[in-house]
C-alpha cells in the first residue's frame, strides 16, 4: 500500500502509456502513483504486441525451414518441423513475466507508488481503490481497451485475442472471425504453425481501412499460404457438436461449417471505461464509450486527461507512449514544454502478416478525395518477386508490392504503402521522410542500396 494518499499525479492504468507518462512526470519532480489491478505493461506486454510478435517469429521460423531446404540445406524431415507448443508457451510466458518485473522496477527506480487494485472515481480529484481514497492534483486515465464481446447465440463458445495466448496446445482446426489487422495476424500465425485455418470476413476483403494495394496482395497471400477465406460471411451463431468441437453457422445457411477446435473472435476492441465511475466526476464519453479529449489529451473536466486506446484516436502502443510522455512534459517540464502534445498525423504502422505490411500516411483513395486541379494526385507503384525467393522452385513466390502516393504539383509524398518481406522494418525510415514533408524528387535523388527490396522506393518511375 502507498505510504501517502495524496499525489501530484494519479495515473489509472499501468500499461505502456500510463507507465511512460508516470515515469516522465516523476523524472521531472512530480509525486506520482500508478493504479493497476492486473499485470503491468497492459495489452501490449501481456496479450498484444510482445507475445504476438513471438508467435509471429515462431511461425516465420517454421516457414523458413522450408525455404532452407530449397536453398540446399539437408533437412530430412518432410514438410515443416513439429513444434513443442508447451515449451514455446513456457518460454514466452517467462519472458512476459520478466517484462512485468521490468515495468515494476522502473516505477520503483523513479519512486512511483504502485497501488494495486481497481480504481474508481469518487470525485474530480479523488479515486477509490480497495476502500482507500487517493487524491491527485491531476489524474490521467490510461486504462486501455478490451476485446469486443461476441453477441451472438453460442458466443460463450468463442475465444478472443486475449484468450489466444492462454491456449495450452495448437488447435488442429480453427476459425478466425474478423477482418482487421488482429484477425489477419492471428490467422497467419495459426496457419503458419500448422493449424487448418479458416478466416470469416463480412465483405470481399480484409484490412479494408488499408490502401487497395495492401488489401489485394494480403488477401492473395493469405489464400496462397493455405488460409481458407470465407467472404461475405456473417456468423450468426455457434453450436457445440457431440464430439466437443464447434460448428460455425453463417447467415441463414442450413449447413454449418463444423469441426473447429476453437473459434477465435477478433472483431475489434472497446474502451475499458465501464467501471471507472466517470459519471461521478463528469468526464464525457462518446457513444462507443471512448473518452473525448482535445489535442492536449484534456477531457471536459479540468485536470483530468486520457491517453492511449481509451480515447480512441489511434490505438497503437507507441502512440500511447508518445502521448503520455508529451503530456507529462507539458504538465511538469516548465515553460519550454507549454505546447507539448502529440501530432497524430502520419503515424506509421505495421501488420505482422505473412508477408508483413508497412504503411504511413493516407491511402490513394483518401488522396483522391483531397485532390483538385491545383493539387493533383500522382501514384507510383510496383510489384515484384523478392530476390530471396529466387532459389525456390515453387510455383508461387510471394511478391513485394509498394505504392507511393503524392499530392500537389510538387509531388509531396503523403502516403507510402508496402507489403512483402522485411517491409515491417523498411517502413520506419520512409515514415520519417513523410513526416518531414519529402517530395518524390527527394526519393529520386537518393542512391539505391542494391540488391534490396527497399531500393524500389527510390527507383520507382
The model's pLDDT over 386-435, given as tens digits with 9 standing for 90+, comes to 999 999 988 889 999 999 999 999 999 999 999 999 999 999 999 999 99
pLDDT of 369 reads 97
Convert 405-443 to b/e letters by CB count within 10 Å (16 or more is b).
bbbbeebbbbbbbbbbbbbbebbeebbebbeeebebeeb
457 membership: H or E segment, kind and range: helix 456-459
- How many residues belong to the chain? 461
pLDDT of 112 reads 99
Provide DSSP, 92-112: HHHHHHHHHHHHHHHHHHTT-
How far is it, in rounded angstroms, from Cα 64 to Cα 58? 10
All three cell numbers of 307, joined, read: 491517453
Cis amide leading into 78 (omega within 30): no
- Is 185 labeled as ligand-binding? yes
The model's pLDDT over 374-388, given as tens digits with 9 standing for 90+, comes to 999 999 999 999 999
pLDDT of 402 reads 99
All three cell numbers of 241, joined, read: 457438436
**CATH superfamily of the 6-47+87-146+270-337 domain:** FAD/NAD(P)-binding domain (3.50.50.60)
All three cell numbers of 285, joined, read: 464519453
What are the residues whose beta carbons fall under 8 Å from the beta carbon of 78, sequence distance 6 or more? none
pLDDT of 1 reads 53
Strand bridging mode 145-147 / 269-271: antiparallel
What are the residues whose beta carbons fall under 8 Å from the beta carbon of 92, sequence distance 6 or more? 51, 54, 55, 165
User: How much is the pTM?
Assistant: 0.95
Round the average pLDDT of the chain to a whole number and report it: 97
Tell whether the model's pLDDT for residue 2 goes beyond 70.
no
Q: Name the phi and psi angles at 348, rounded to 5.
A: -75, 155
Q: Give the pLDDT band (50/70/90) at residue 160.
A: very high
Q: Give the pLDDT band (50/70/90) at residue 252.
A: confident
pLDDT of 254 reads 78
- Is 174 labeled as ligand-binding? no
Alpha carbon 192 to its chain centroid, in Å, reads: 19
Percent of the chain with pLDDT over 90: 95
Strand bridging mode 235-240 / 126-129: unpaired
- Is 209 labeled as ligand-binding? no
Percent of the chain with pLDDT over 70: 99
**Residue pair 136/7 in contact by the 8 Å Cβ criterion:** yes
Catalytic residue list contains 274: no
Calculate mean pLDDT across residues 200-207: 98
Q: Give the pLDDT band (50/70/90) at residue 76.
A: confident
Topology of domain 155-267, CATH: FAD/NAD(P)-binding domain (3.50.50)
Topology alike, domains 6-47+87-146+270-337 and 155-267 = yes
Residue 115, number of CB atoms within 10 A of its CB: 24
The model's pLDDT over 167-198, given as tens digits with 9 standing for 90+, comes to 999 999 999 999 999 999 999 999 999 999 99
pLDDT of 284 reads 98
Q: Which of 73-82, 85-94, 422-431 has the lowest mean pLDDT?
A: 73-82
- Is 104 labeled as ligand-binding? no
Topology of domain 349-459, CATH: Enolase-like; domain 1 (3.30.390)
For the chain, which residues make up each domain, given as ranges? 6-47+87-146+270-337, 155-267, 349-459
Calculate mean pLDDT across residues 70-94: 91
The model's pLDDT over 292-324, given as tens digits with 9 standing for 90+, comes to 999 999 999 999 999 999 999 999 999 999 999
CA dihedral 371, 375, 376, 380 (to 10 degrees): -100
- Is 309 labeled as ligand-binding? yes
What are the residues whose beta carbons fall under 8 Å from the beta carbon of 34, sequence distance 6 or more? 11, 13, 14, 18, 19, 22, 107, 112, 113, 114, 115
Closest-CA residue to 143 (of 286, 23, 25, 273): 273
Catalytic-role residue among 198, 262, 375, 450: 450
- Is 183 labeled as ligand-binding? yes
Amino acid at each position: 500500500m502507498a505510504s501517502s494518499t495524496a499525489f501530484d499525479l494519479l495515473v489509472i492504468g499501468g500499461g505502456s502509456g500510463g507507465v511512460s507518462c508516470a515515469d516522465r512526470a516523476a523524472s521531472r519532480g512530480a509525486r506520482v502513483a500508478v493504479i493497476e489491478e492486473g499485470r503491468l505493461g497492459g495489452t501490449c506486454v501481456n496479450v498484444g504486441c510482445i507475445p504476438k510478435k513471438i508467435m509471429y517469429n515462431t511461425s516465420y521460423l517454421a516457414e523458413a525451414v522450408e525455404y532452407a531446404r530449397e536453398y540446399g540445406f539437408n533437412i530430412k524431415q518432410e514438410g515443416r518441423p513439429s513444434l513443442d507448443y508447451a515449451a514455446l508457451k513456457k518460454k514466452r510466458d517467462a519472458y512476459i513475466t520478466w517484462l512485468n518485473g521490468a515495468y515494476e522496477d522502473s516505477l520503483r527506480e523513479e519512486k512511483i507508488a504502485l497501488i494495486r487494485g481497481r480504481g474508481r472515481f469518487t470525485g474530480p480529484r479523488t479515486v477509490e481503490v480497495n476502500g482507500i481514497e487517493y487524491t491527485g492534483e491531476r489524474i490521467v486515465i490510461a486504462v486501455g481497451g478490451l476485446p469486443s464481446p461476441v453477441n451472438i447465440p453460442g458466443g460463450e463458445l468463442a475465444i478472443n485475442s486475449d484468450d489466444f495466448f492462454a491456449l495450452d496446445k495448437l488447435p488442429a482446426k480453427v476459425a478466425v472471425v474478423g477482418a482487421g489487422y488482429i484477425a489477419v495476424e492471428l490467422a497467419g500465425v495459426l496457419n503458419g504453425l500448422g493449424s487448418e485455418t479458416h478466416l470469416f470476413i463480412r465483405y470481399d476483403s480484409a484490412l479494408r481501412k488499408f490502401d487497395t494495394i495492401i488489401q489485394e496482395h494480403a488477401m492473395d497471400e493469405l489464400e496462397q499460404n493455405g488460409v481458407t477465406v470465407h467472404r461475405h460471411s456473417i456468423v450468426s451463431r455457434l453450436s457445440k457438436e457431440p464430439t466437443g468441437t464447434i460448428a460455425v453457422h453463417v447467415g441463414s445457411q442450413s449447413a454449418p461449417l463444423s469441426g473447429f477446435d476453437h473459434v477465435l473472435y477478433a472483431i475489434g476492441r472497446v474502451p475499458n471505461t465501464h467501471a471507472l465511475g466517470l459519471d461521478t466526476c463528469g468526464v464525457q464519453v462518446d457513444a462507443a464509450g471512448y473518452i473525448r479529449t482535445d489535442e492536449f489529451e484534456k477531457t471536459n473536466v479540468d485536470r483530468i486527461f486520457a491517453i492511449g486506446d481509451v480515447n480512441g484516436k489511434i490505438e497503437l502502443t507507441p502512440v500511447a507512449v508518445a502521448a503520455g510522455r508529451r503530456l507529462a512534459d507539458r504538465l511538469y517540464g516548465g515553460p519550454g514544454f507549454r505546447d507539448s502534445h502529440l501530432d497524430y498525423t502520419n503515424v506509421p504502422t505495421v501488420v505482422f502478416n505473412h508477408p508483413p505490411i508497412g504503411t504511413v500516411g493516407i491511402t490513394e483513395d483518401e488522396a483522391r478525395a483531397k485532390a483538385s486541379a491545383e493539387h493533383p494526385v500522382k501514384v507510383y507503384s510496383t510489384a515484384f518477386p523478392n530476390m530471396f525467393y529466387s532459389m525456390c522452385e515453387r510455383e508461387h513466390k510471394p511478391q513485394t508490392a509498394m505504392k507511393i502516393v503524392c499530392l500537389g504539383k510538387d509531388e509531396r509524398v503523403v502516403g507510402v504503402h508496402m507489403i512483402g518481406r522485411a517491409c515491417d522494418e523498411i517502413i520506419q525510415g520512409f515514415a520519417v521522410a513523410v513526416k518531414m514533408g519529402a517530395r518524390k524528387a527527394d526519393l529520386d535523388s537518393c542512391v539505391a542500396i542494391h540488391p534490396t527490396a527497399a531500393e524500389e522506393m527510390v527507383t520507382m518511375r
